[in-house]
Amino acid sequence: MLTPQPMQEADYLAIRRLSESLGRQAAPELWGAAECQLVIKTSSGELLGWARAHWWEPDDPVAPAGYYLGGIEIIRYHQQRGAARSLSEARLAWIAQRAPKAWCVVNVQNTASLALARSLGFEEVARAARFGTVVFNGGSGVLLSKNLASLRGYAQEQV
């Protein structure tokens, strides 16, 4: 089983390359130091994926300020093998040390991310074409939340 580990500056180039291979533009050097930033690698050190969670104040009438699961990307050949779940569970444990609830926004067309969020216990709160600064091209976004009460005791024991 692959274990998430803290992201290091030495991972940034591999993260950018992975993101570009998926048609995206991750910029880890711009992310805040007070975030949860994780990677999953093979035993030989090859980057398989990354994820982050952070405090977000979207200035939105529907989406509240809170800790959100941020980006997550998994190399194509390793998708659907549990890496995203492992990264997400680690991020939820991190958020549970800081807040009673976790949030995320997902494009309604991203069925894999929606299925993962729902399997982790997230529930839909709202749908919109935009939440804060996140605009959903070609569809709408889904705002989801998860109560972390069951994780809070576990997460606090781990500290």
Please compute Rg for the chain using Cα positions. Answer: 15
Inter-residue contact 122 to 144 (CB < 8 Å) = yes
Summarize pLDDT for 27-50 with one digit per residue, the tens. Answer: 999 998 899 999 999 999 999 999
- CATH code assigned at 59: 3.40.630.30
| Residue 66 CB coordination number (10 Å) | 17
pTM of structure = 0.90
Range of the domain at 59: 5-158
Residue 54 backbone class (left: φ over 0; alpha: ψ -120 to 50; beta: rest):
beta
Inter-residue contact 52 to 34 (CB < 8 Å) = no
Q: How many separate domains does the chain show?
A: 1
Question: What percent of the chain has pLDDT above 90?
Answer: 79
